[in-house]
Amino acid sequence: MRLANHAFNELCGVQEGQTLGSVIGDWIEDVASLQPGLLMQSRVKARDGSPVPVEIALRQESAGGVDQVVQIFAVRDLRSRIAQERRIAHLARNDSLTGLPNRTSFLEKMERLAGTAGKDGAFALLAIDLNRFKEVNDLYGHAVGDLLLVHVGDHLRAALREGEFVARLGGDEFVALIPIRERMDAHAAAERLRDAIMTPLEAEHAELRCGAAIGIALWPDDARETSALINNADLAMYRAKSSLATDVCFYEGAMDEAVRLRRRITLGLRDALEN
When computed from its CA atoms, the radius of gyration of the chain, rounded to whole angstroms, is: 29
Query: First-to-last CA distance in the chain?
Result: 91
Q: From residue 227, how far is each of 126, 129, 148 by CA, in Å?
A: 14, 18, 29
CB–CB of 36/58 below 8 Å? yes
CB–CB of 53/43 below 8 Å? yes
Query: 172 an active-site residue?
Result: yes
DSSP letters, 146-177, are: HHHHHHHHHHHHHH--TT-EEEEEETTEEEEE
Q: Considering the candidates 172, 222, 234, 247, report the single residue annotated as catalytic.
A: 172
CB–CB of 233/126 below 8 Å? yes
> Which helix (DSSP H) or strand (DSSP E) does residue 229 occupy?
helix 226-242
CA distance 124 to 107: 14
- List residues with catalytic annotation: 172
